[in-house]
Structure 1
Amino acid sequence: MSETGWNYLMDMDGVLVREEHLVPGADAFIDDLRANHVPFMVLTNNSIYTPRDLRARLLRTGLDIPETSIWTSALATAQFLDQQRPNGSAHVVGESGLTTALHNIGYVLTDRDPDYVVLGETRTYSFEAITRAIRLVENGARFIATNPDEKGPSREGSLPATGAVAALIQKATGRAPYYVGKPNPLMMRSALRALGAHSENTVMIGDRMDTDVRSGLEAGLQTVLVLSGISGAETAELFPYRPTAVRGSVADLVHKVTEPLA
């Protein structure tokens, strides 16, 4: 437990950064957490990058976040597979963030009778790679996906994401994947374990009701919806559940990280 009794989990995109730019006040918020010795973990459903890559990305925006304080859906997926089937094998459709995480738990990456097909985010989806994944799932490989996000942003517009490609494989095979990342509360629980924290004194901050707030709520955390990402002021009213609090951005939490949410 932290000295203050509180711990924080927070999404990265839309909370700390947006389109490679710092969300105003995010640096002051991180500094406030450190000054008050409040443990925190930055989360992302994006499985493309390793924590080292993401640390470098955040440094470019002015945020100094150690690798040990970054938790990705790739790491959560690797931890899940290590618990389910230690020293197993997987065929991966994804990038270095996912392959590195699986290598680090001792998994063999192969397209010969793997235990799992693991689908993650990538910018190089190919017909050949998707066809191979479909055939392996048809032949009995268990189907895992890092996250259900159907699209992601870019400067040119929307990009197809893991959930969209997973839907294609599911349609072709009749086999639905098990999604490890948000909104699965498993993502929150694995981050809590990595942080050494408990749900009853942890706050989850996110900019999406359907992933960040939902998974935080289902994991027993207090939740904050911030309006610095994709959500507007009326977004919370569209869902059958509510966050503990709604704030404009993390800047509104500066000097309040040790206080109860109002």
Structure 2
Amino acid sequence: MNMKNGFLIDLDGTLYRGRKPIPHAAAFIRMLNEKGLPYLLVTNNSSRTPEQVAGHMRELGIEVLAAAVYTSSQAAAQYMAEQRQGNRVHMIGEAGLQIALEAAGFLLNEGTPDYVVQGIDRSFSYAKLTEAVRRLQNGATYVLTNPDRMLPSDGGLMPGAGSLAAAITAASGVEPVVIGKPSPIIMAYAIGRLGLPAADVWVIGDNAATDIRGGVMAGCRTALVLTGVATPANAHEQLALAGVTPDLICEDLQDFVKQLKLNDGAGFASRP
């Protein structure tokens, strides 16, 4: 194991499931902190701020700083700022997206927008669909925080940002610029934040189509953990559908540590 390696780690399905931590997640993050190994928690979830994500994780016993969290909302704001095509935005989304856009200096819902930016919006309506379509037909650039069509929730799967985008695209005929995993946009930004070559970065996640595909396309090493979307029963089917092969397939994060020989053996299994 090259001790200069960094890690891009998925959240839901990798470190926790809803309001429950996944076994060994807290110990894994604690080990990275103790060894001083660089990592970034990369999420397609656009609804929450990094502070909210970190707070949620601390409630689950996983100690992380907000600075270690990078969301698709932050990546969308970064992408748009780099385009220099204007600062007026028509937003469809929730607090995480709003705060990220405002922090980057964008004006929301003022005048004729330069962008329509869309993430998950659990109050999405026909009126919002109509307004977005009209804005796009008037020439605004369409930016989608993440392509996830379904999201896990405590009550089961629910439609995600990608499902809303499908309706907007069908009505407007405009395809969005996709920011979140597996897009190379968020992957390049996340790797840049680590300050390491892509070949020295491990991408760890439970979703073959987003985490692993994004990592492979970015030139990173990849590890699929079987604790979320991918399970021991469906992992090979999920990988075949995604058309990718990870460097490692791991039962969980403890197995990842074991396969990479990251730990010195001092109590990892006993500190879940």
On whether the aligned pair clears a TM of 0.5, the verdict is yes
Give the shorter-chain TM-score range: over 0.9
Write out per-residue CA displacement over residues 201-225 of structure 1, whole angstroms, 9 at most, x where no aligned residue.
Answer: 0100010111000000000100000
TM-score by length of 2: 0.90
CA distance in 2, matches of 1:156, 1:49: 19
Q: For this pair of structures, how many residues does the alignment match?
A: 257
Paired letter, 1:187: I
Give distance in 1, aligned partners of 2:162 and 2:219: 25
Matched to 1:200, the amino acid is: A
Among the aligned pairs, what percent are the same residue?
Answer: 35
- Kept in 2, the 8 Å contact 1:87–1:105? The answer is no
- Select which of 238, 254, 257 maps to 1:254: 257
Matched AA of 1:164: S
The residue that corresponds to 1:11 in the other structure is 10
The TM-score with structure 1 as length reference comes to 0.93
Displacement after TM superposition at 1:110 (Å): 1.7
SS at match of 1:91: strand
**Offset of 1:32 from its aligned partner?**
1.1
Alpha-carbon distance in structure 2 between the residues aligned to 1:98 and 1:85? 19
Cα distance in 2 for partners of 1:8, 1:257 equals: 13
Alignment partner, residue 67 of structure 1: 66
**CA distance in structure 2 between the aligned counterparts of 1:109 and 1:19, rounded to whole angstroms:** 30
Bigger drift between 139-148 and 102-111 goes to: 102-111
Q: Does the CA-based 8 Å contact 2:13-2:206 persist in structure 1?
A: yes
Residue 238 of structure 1, aligned match among 237, 240, 253 = 240
- Structure 2 residue 221 is the aligned partner of structure 1 residue 219: no
Q: What does the per-residue CA deviation read over 1:11-60, in whole Å, with 9 as the maximum and x for residues that have no partner?
A: 00011001211110011111111121101001110100000111111111
Tell me if the contact between 2:148 and 2:160 (Cα under 8 Å) persists in the aligned partners. Answer: yes
SS in 1 for 2:146: coil
Distance apart, 1:167 and its partner CA: 0.7
Q: What are the within-5 Å matches in structure 2 for residues 18-33 of structure 1? A: 18-33=17-32
How far did 1:86 drift? 6.3
Contact 1:87–1:108 (CA under 8 A) maintained in structure 2: no
Asked if the contact 2:85–2:114 (Cα under 8 Å) also holds between the matched residues in 1, the reply is: no
Contact 2:46 2:145 in 1 (8 A): yes
Which consecutive aligned stretches of 4+ in structure 1 deviate over 4 angstroms post-superposition? 255-259
**SS of alignment partner, residue 254 of structure 1:** helix
Contact 1:151 1:158 in 2 (8 A): yes
CA distance in 2, matches of 1:160, 1:112: 30
Decide whether aligned partners of structure 1 residues 31 and 119 sit closer, same or farther in structure 2, where only a CA change above 3 A counts. same
Gaps of 5+ in 1: none
Q: Deviations over 1:108-131 (max 9, x none)?
A: 112521000000112211222221
1:90, CA displacement in angstroms? 0.7
Query: Displacement of 1:87 after TM fit?
Result: 5.4
